[in-house]
């Protein structure tokens, strides 16, 4: 039987706090979400001033990153480069840059999705959160 690490509540809080700090340091109003490796929501936080729609987009990005085990930018680029049929992929909804998987020892243990600013800035926030794990 194989074993793998899983995100604890403490891990999720570390990710969220670091992501929030990154967003606030840049005065970015965003929604931050953290999911487990199956895309199930563990954390959702909408900062003051974030658009209401970001509370739906951030978890969708996180879920897509977790299930695909890769950054959501890959899917967005695929579609933007003409592979439109990929938009019909089942289950995947957040195929926009801003979802980043949390990888530990080569295993995906979850993902962070951020929505509310430029996609590259969403990624910056997500990666700052993940870096707080020190994994």
The CATH number of whichever domain residue 37 belongs to comes to 3.30.450.150
pLDDT for res 29: 98
pLDDT for res 25: 98
pLDDT tens column, 54-95: 999 999 999 999 999 999 999 999 999 999 898 888 888 899
pTM: 0.96
Whether 4 maps to a domain, the answer reads: no
Q: Alpha-carbon distance 61 to 69, whole Å?
A: 12
Whether 2 maps to a domain, the answer reads: no
Whether 1 maps to a domain, the answer reads: no
How many structural domains are present in the chain? 1
47 pLDDT higher than 90 = yes
Which helix (DSSP H) or strand (DSSP E) does residue 17 occupy?
helix 9-25
Pick from 72, 73, 32: nearest CA to 55: 32
134 pLDDT higher than 80 = yes
Residue with more model confidence, 135 or 30: 30
What is the distance of C-alpha 68 from the center of its chain?
Answer: 12
Which range of residues forms the domain containing residue 25?
Answer: 9-131
- Cβ atoms of residues 107 and 6 within 8 Å: no
């Amino acid at each position: 039987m194989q074993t793998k690490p899983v995100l604890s509540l403490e891990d999720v809080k570390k990710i969220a706090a670091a992501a929030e700090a990154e967003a606030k340091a840049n005065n970015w109003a965003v929604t931050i979400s953290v999911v487990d490796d199956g895309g199930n929501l563990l954390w959702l936080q909408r900062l003051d001033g974030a658009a209401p729609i970001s509370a739906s987009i951030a978890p969708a990005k996180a879920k897509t990153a977790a299930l695909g085990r890769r950054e959501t930018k890959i899917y967005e680029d695929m579609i933007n480069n003409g592979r439109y049929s990929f938009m019909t992929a089942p289950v995947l909804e957040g195929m926009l840059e801003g979802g980043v998987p949390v990888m530990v020892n080569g295993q995906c243990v979850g993902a962070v999705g951020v929505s509310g600013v430029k996609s590259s800035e969403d990624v910056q926030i997500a990666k700052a959160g993940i870096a707080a794990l020190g994994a």
